[in-house]
């Protein structure tokens, strides 16, 4: 059973007094057979920058998409159960990511079936457990309390341990510095 997360959202009443507008268990979750042992839970999606802070508290309606919206951000947690190497060898990463609108982000023939690249800057904090962050050639063991700034690189997450690992992510839409000037994104799969 995956962990449930309480999501508290603040706002203002008609007099400008700070209030709690929503206090619920986050329900925008994604679990699927094509990526067994992984649960994504969205808490907040902002549609642009600067982010709106006085609109609806229901920002996670609609399909579950990997990427943040153009010029926006996503706040989520991902729980990774321990991997079974025999099961992992049978999985189709491209098909699994296509279910989240990101099939073109998979790195073909990589050392992990879910190696992918996104056009975002992702801030991550490991809450519980431990996990390997795989890059093209390197790998780093991350433990509870460790942080990562993932800057649009090829990567995958591999839980080789015996306990679940939960990671908080904030994904911010991004562009490479070489592409920022012309407004086009080059070399990174488009959504």
Report d(CA 153, CA 187) in Å as an integer. 11
pLDDT band at 179; cut points 50, 70, 90: low
pLDDT band at 32; cut points 50, 70, 90: very high
pLDDT band at 189; cut points 50, 70, 90: very low
Report d(CA 171, CA 162) in Å as an integer. 27
State residue 64's pLDDT score. 93
Architecture of domain 28-180: Sandwich (2.60)
pTM: 0.89
Residue ranges per domain, the chain?
Answer: 28-180
**Over residues 44-69, mean pLDDT:** 91
Report d(CA 161, CA 37) in Å as an integer. 13
């Amino acid at each position: 059973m995956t962990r449930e997360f309480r999501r508290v959202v603040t706002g203002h009443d008609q007099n400008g007094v700070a209030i709690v507008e929503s206090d619920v268990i986050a329900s925008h979750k994604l679990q699927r057979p094509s990526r067994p042992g992984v649960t994504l839970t969205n808490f907040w999606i902002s549609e642009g920058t600067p982010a709106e802070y006085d609109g609806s508290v229901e920002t996670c309606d609609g399909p579950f998409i990997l990427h943040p919206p153009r010029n926006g951000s996503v706040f989520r947690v991902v729980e990774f159960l321990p991997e079974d190497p025999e099961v992992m060898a049978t999985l189709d990463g491209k098909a699994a990511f296509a279910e989240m609108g990101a099939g073109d982000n998979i790195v073909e023939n990589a050392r992990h079936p879910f190696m992918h690249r996104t056009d975002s800057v992702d801030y991550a904090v490991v809450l519980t457990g431990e996990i390997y962050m795989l890059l093209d050639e390197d790998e780093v063991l991350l433990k509870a309390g460790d942080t990562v700034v993932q800057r649009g690189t090829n990567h995958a997450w591999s839980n080789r341990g015996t306990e679940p690992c939960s990671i908080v992510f904030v994904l911010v839409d991004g562009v490479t510095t070489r592409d920022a000037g012309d407004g086009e994104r080059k070399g990174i799969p488009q959504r």
